[in-house]
Amino acid sequence: MRERESMVNADLVREKALELGFADVGFTTAEPFEHQTKVLAERRQEYAWVKNLGLDLEAGVDPAQVLPGAKSIIVLLELYFGQAFPKSLENHFGRCYLDDDRVTKDGLALRVRAFRSYLQDQGIKVKIPWNLSHRLAAARAGLGDFGKNCLFYSNKVGRKSSWVLPIALVVDAEFPPGEPSMEVGCPSWCKNACLTACPTGALQGPRKLDPRRCISYLSYYGEGLTPLELREPMGLWVYGCDRCQNACPRNAPWLAAELPMNPRAAAKADDFELTKLLHMDVGYFKNRIWPHMFYMSEKDIWRWKMNVARVMGNTQDQVFVPELSQAFHREPDERVRAMCAWSLGRLGGPEAKLALQSARAPGQGLVAQEVAWALEKLH
Ligand code: SF4
Ligand code: SF4
């Protein structure tokens, strides 16, 4: 009788999730993710920065630590790339950040809240822990498997692509668990296109990522002036990186789909123009940028600008020479000015050379050194 009741509940829960616009839903047990304990212990150094951000991944291994009396995990799948994004955004920002409402709470957050309230109305206790691996929970619920690029691939949503965000809810009610699918699901004919596409060597082998070398991490947490050897490989990415997903043949069917434009992303595309980002002041950052991409706070505005300056150089578009030259003279932060100098050197041409010559300053400081190197390159 009890089992039949659970089944009924599971069907109703599934129905509710789909009604709220989630692309898929699954269930798994609340058993600890034992294997993850070993993985985290082996990779403690690589993930030390996560702890510094206040996220204790080790504590998230056991759902019972998150919610005493936990019996199941419900996993919702959100297709975050269900609508198209403006090219001007896709070229420079990871797609998962293009309609991210974790601060504004006016999109996905409303649906998650509605789902949570629905469960609570049934007398079910719910916790959404951000230190538990939502991807592992999704795979254990049988909603998909992994790629060698460490990403989770749905077994049906988005033409079985990785453009999905799993959201795991730990609950104190029992639901029949799905068949786990924790393995790598890549076709044998793919010769590791993701590993080859990764420009900074972050993907060191199948399912082996060093997050500290990943462009996503470097773009919002990288310390100091971006090292010379990473500036070209980091290419056109300002915030996040989708290269290993774009290169993956498992994602090709969805990338080929004709999608309607995402109006929310389209509405903010102008605010994210490279030129505006390079010259923005704190007010502009706080009002127009931070609510949508918030991993860097106001005190890190220099990193935003440094990234944009690097990207301008990598565009190989002369149109940015006056912008970089202007920023070089106006920006107070030497890391931004140093990157402007590097980018002027990378763009080259008579105008860039003139700008660098007029910027030449005595001394051996960071900026003077970059200007000297850039001029040397141009000669
Ligand atoms: S997101 Fe970019 S840098 Fe990070 S692993 Fe993928 S390709 Fe490499
Ligand atoms: S690029 Fe190839 S190896 Fe990498 S995740 Fe995609 S299918 Fe797997």
Ligand lying closest to the C-alpha of residue 216:
1
Ligand 2: which atom is nearest the Cα of residue 149? 5
Q: How far apart are CA 227 and CA 276, in angstroms?
A: 24
Ligand 2 centre from 145 Cα, in Å?
12
Q: Long-range CB contacts (< 8 A, 24+ apart) of 313-318? A: 313/231, 313/339, 313/342, 313/343, 313/344, 313/345, 313/346, 313/347, 314/231, 314/232, 314/234, 314/235, 314/236, 314/343, 314/346, 315/236, 316/346, 316/347, 317/347, 318/347, 318/349, 318/351, 318/352
Q: What is the pLDDT of residues 78-117, one digit of tens each?
A: 999 999 999 999 999 999 999 999 999 999 999 999 999 9
H helices present in the chain, as ranges: 2-19, 34-42, 48-52, 63-66, 87-90, 108-121, 134-140, 193-197, 215-221, 228-231, 243-246, 252-255, 263-268, 274-279, 282-284, 301-315, 321-330, 334-347, 350-359, 366-378
Element (H, E) at 78: strand 72-79
Ligand lying closest to the C-alpha of residue 211:
1
Backbone angles phi, psi at 242, to 5 degrees: -120, 15
Q: What is the pLDDT of residues 144-172, one digit of tens each?
A: 999 999 999 999 999 999 999 999 999 99
**From atom 3 of ligand 2, which residue's Cα is the shortest distance away?**
192
State the pTM of this model. Answer: 0.94
Ligand 1 centre from 244 Cα, in Å?
5
Ligand lying closest to the C-alpha of residue 202:
1
3-class DSSP state of 270: helix
Closest CA to 168 of 125, 198, 143, 138: 138
Backbone angles phi, psi at 26, to 5 degrees: -145, 175
Q: Which residue has the higher pLDDT, 119 or 37?
A: 119
The average confidence (pLDDT) of the chain is 94
**Cβ of 216 less than 6 Å from ligand 1:** yes
Ligand 1 centre from 242 Cα, in Å?
7
Residue 318 predicted with pLDDT over 50: yes
What is the structure's pLDDT at 65?
92
Q: How far apart are CA 82 and CA 79, in angstroms?
A: 5
**From atom 8 of ligand 1, which residue's Cα is the shortest distance away?**
198
Q: What is the pLDDT of residues 190-218, one digit of tens each?
A: 999 999 999 999 999 999 999 999 999 99
Chain centre distance of CA 51? 18
Residue 257 predicted with pLDDT over 70: yes
pLDDT grade for 362, boundaries at 50, 70 and 90: low
Is residue 94 within 8 Å of residue 243, measured between CB atoms?
no
**Cβ of 196 less than 6 Å from ligand 2:** no
Segment 252-261 mean pLDDT = 98
What is the structure's pLDDT at 1?
42
Q: How far apart are CA 218 and CA 240, in angstroms?
A: 8
Element (H, E) at 146: strand 144-146
Is residue 165 within 8 Å of residue 82, measured between CB atoms?
no
